[in-house]
Amino acid sequence: MNGAMNRRVLILLGPVAGIVMFLGVVWMASVFVGHNEYKEPYRAPAATADATPRAEGVAAEKAAAETKAKATPYTEAEYRRFPGVGSRVAIWSVAQLHLLFAAFVLAVPMFAFIIEVIGYKTGDERYDRLAHEFTNLLSVSFSLTATFGAFLTFMLIILYPKFTNYLMSVFSPTFLPYVLLFFFEAFFLYTYYYGWGKFHPLVHLGLGLGLNVVGTAIMMIANAWLTFMMSPRGISDTGAVLSVRDAIFNYTWLPINVHRFIANIAFGGSVAAAYAAFKFLQAETDEERAHYDWMGYIGNFVAISAFLPLPFAGYWLAKEIYAFSQTLGLTMMGGAFSWLFIIQAVLIGNLFLAANYYLWLGMGRVEGVQPLQKFIKYLLIGITLCFAVWATPRSIIATVSEIRAMGGSAHPILGYLGVMSAKNTAVNILILTTFMSFLLYRRTGKVATVAWAKIGHAAQLAIFATAAFIVIFLGVYGYFVEATVRIRLSVPQVSSVLMAMVSITAIDVFLFRGATRTGEVRWGRIPRISQYVLIFIAVTFTWLMGLMGYVRSGLRQHWHVYGVVRDTSPDAFTPTLGFATKVVSVTVLEFFLLIGVVFWIASLHDRPDFQRQAKTTRRTGAHEAELT
């Protein structure tokens, strides 16, 4: 009774205290302004005082300054300088942060939706819980994406006003739909998140689908702006707009849409897996560990599954860049940016190694894994060799005497591994090997019981061997044919790998239908180091996104819009790769600092209420006092 009274008094006192505080602030502000307001010192009225020569001089000076200011015509600034780091680095950093959060916000609903569908179809509530947990990360990330988007827009208007004005004039019809879609995005996102379990499952899935469709549409509009800058279309030589439709449907728009769509899923999956790893390492019970181990596995599975076809989307994008302008393509692969792809090879090689290592560690969860573990060393050898080939540069950094001894900047033997024939072969074999790791993991602890099991295994092996043979054969053949033929060889290489992955997976699904289990999957029984591997994968993915974002944008060199609007600012030069990688590193650190905040805010959801926690602490204290 007393407690209830106190509560009522508190409820009454709350607004009263608020009003008193508001009045107090108004009073303090008025006193402060009143006492500190600038007041002109008292001077005798002009009529009663003689004007001194000094006063006349001051008045004349003031009048002249006013006249001059009025006569100065208004001029529009072309560029403004950002203090310290300069305008380009400032824009670069903010744009990168915006894109990283946007990628995350677009990706998470995709796999949350798919996981929810699986949960709905199978009736397994674990999937529903997992999908909900993934969306926990969304709302804060969405706010940060919007904040960085607004920040980027203001920075562009302030620092690059003339160019921003031009871009806005070209794409003016796209802005209203963009804003409207943002409203829809917010509607779908919040109803999807807060409506979890409140609607019929199909209605909820509809909201998830809406969220994904709207999110993808937003991405495609923004992609039109940035791809136009790289491969402009629909304008005259002087930049006058001829067709907004053509400006949107420019050469690189569609490949960038596809590439980003897949890359976002890979990146989002890796960050969600890192979140699970963080929670796993924090977990205190076996149940929690089992859940977060599973969540991390799913996140990583999503990331690597999306990552495997990504190089193919990259080929398409590069092909379109060459089709638009051979000069642009050659600048990318053979000019100022060619060494960037060696750094990219190191990153992707690390991603493949880490992803495979995580899968091999994960095999320990399953009882009866020993028969398959003997294959791991062969996979490791294959991956390491491919990594080494991919990271071999065509030209070696060498001293003058070393170059003379080699007979050129390319090594007489290793130089052969630095060309596209070898690299295409290496990356395709790398993808096949990682796919094999997945397959091995998938069948750990299972024995196929279908009547055609032997034939099925043999067929899978034959398809795998054929795909590997085609890739290697065409890779070697590429050394003996002209460039025009060689370029086209990547298509059958890629197609054979894709065909192999699709057909082997299809056979596997039927092969292991109704399979007997030799051992259970013990979720949570995985070495702790595996969780650090997941975090490493997320950082590497993020860094890779930063690097590839740089090459896509930096490729334009001293052009805002390639070949049309020239960059005449002091930042028009192309920086060294060393400088670019420093900017990427700092941006990645900023992102992880912010994503740490997102994780922390998301984890508040699991905390007990403050009052309940306080009561529990008090009770525990009293109990302990009684005992003593």
Residue window 137-176: x/- pattern of binding to another protein, with contact defined by CB under 8 A: ----------------------------------------
Q: Using the rule CB under 8 A, is 339 a contact of another protein?
A: yes
Closest approach of another protein to the CB of residue 65, in Å: 37
- The CA radius of gyration of the chain, in Å to the nearest whole number, is 31
Give the nearer residue to another protein in terms of CB position, either 305 or 409: 409
Give the nearer residue to another protein in terms of CB position, either 368 or 575: 575
Closest approach of another protein to the CB of residue 471, in Å: 20
Q: Using the rule CB under 8 A, is 505 a contact of another protein?
A: no
* Sign of the C-alpha dihedral computed for residues 266, 502, 115 and 525 taken in this order: negative
Q: List binders of another protein among 265-324 (CB under 8 A).
A: 278, 281-282, 322-324
Residue 103 contacts residue 66 (beta carbons within 8 Å) = no
What is the C-alpha to C-alpha distance for residues 537 and 529, in angstroms, rounded to an integer? 12
Contact residues for 25 (Cβ-Cβ < 8 A; gap 6+): none
CB atoms closer than 10 angstroms to residue 310: 18
Which of 122, 326, 449, 516 touches another protein (CB under 8 A)?
326
Closest approach of another protein to the CB of residue 476, in Å: 14
Q: What is the DSSP letter of 597?
A: H
Q: Using the rule CB under 8 A, is 336 a contact of another protein?
A: yes
Which of 62, 404, 517, 558 touches another protein (CB under 8 A)?
558
Residue window 519-548: x/- pattern of binding to another protein, with contact defined by CB under 8 A: -------------x--xx--xx--x-----
Cα pseudo-dihedral 187, 189, 194, 195, rounded to 10: 80
Residue 546 contacts residue 279 (beta carbons within 8 Å) = no
Which of 158, 342, 439, 507 touches another protein (CB under 8 A)?
342
Q: Using the rule CB under 8 A, is 495 a contact of another protein?
A: no
**Which residue is it, tokens 């099925």?**
456
Closest approach of another protein to the CB of residue 252, in Å: 11
Which of 244, 472, 521, 572 touches another protein (CB under 8 A)?
572
Closest approach of another protein to the CB of residue 259, in Å: 19
Half-sphere CA count of 155, side-chain side, radius 13 A: 19
- Would you state the structure tokens that stand for residue 62, as one six-digit string? 């003031």
Q: List binders of another protein among 444-483 (CB under 8 A).
A: 481-483
Q: Using the rule CB under 8 A, is 361 a contact of another protein?
A: no
Give the nearer residue to another protein in terms of CB position, either 143 or 325: 325
Which of 221, 244, 346, 376 touches another protein (CB under 8 A)?
346
Indicate the angle between helix axes 125-136 and 138-159, nearest 10 degrees.
30
Residue 190 contacts residue 135 (beta carbons within 8 Å) = no
DSSP codes, 443-456: HTTEE--STTHHHH
Indicate the angle between helix axes 340-362 and 376-390, nearest 10 degrees.
170
* Sign of the C-alpha dihedral computed for residues 447, 448, 451 and 457 taken in this order: negative
- Would you state the structure tokens that stand for residue 239, as one six-digit string? 């930049």
* Residue 538 CA: distances (Å) to CA of 91, 268, 390, 528: 24, 9, 21, 16
Residues composing the chain = 628
Interacting span for another protein (CB under 8 A) from 131-139, 465-473, 497-505, 557-565: 557-565
Give the nearer residue to another protein in terms of CB position, either 377 or 558: 558
Give the nearer residue to another protein in terms of CB position, either 582 or 619: 582
Give the nearer residue to another protein in terms of CB position, either 110 or 595: 595
CB atoms closer than 10 angstroms to residue 112: 26
- Output phi, psi for 71, to 5 deg: -80, -20
Residue window 375-414: x/- pattern of binding to another protein, with contact defined by CB under 8 A: ----------------------x-----------------
Which of 153, 174, 505, 581 touches another protein (CB under 8 A)?
581
Residue 237 contacts residue 245 (beta carbons within 8 Å) = no
Chain contacts with another protein (rule: CB under 8 A): 231-237, 251, 278, 281-282, 322-327, 330-331, 334-336, 339-340, 342-343, 346-347, 397, 481-484, 486, 532, 535-536, 539-540, 543, 557-559, 562-564, 566-567, 572-582, 584-585, 588-589, 592
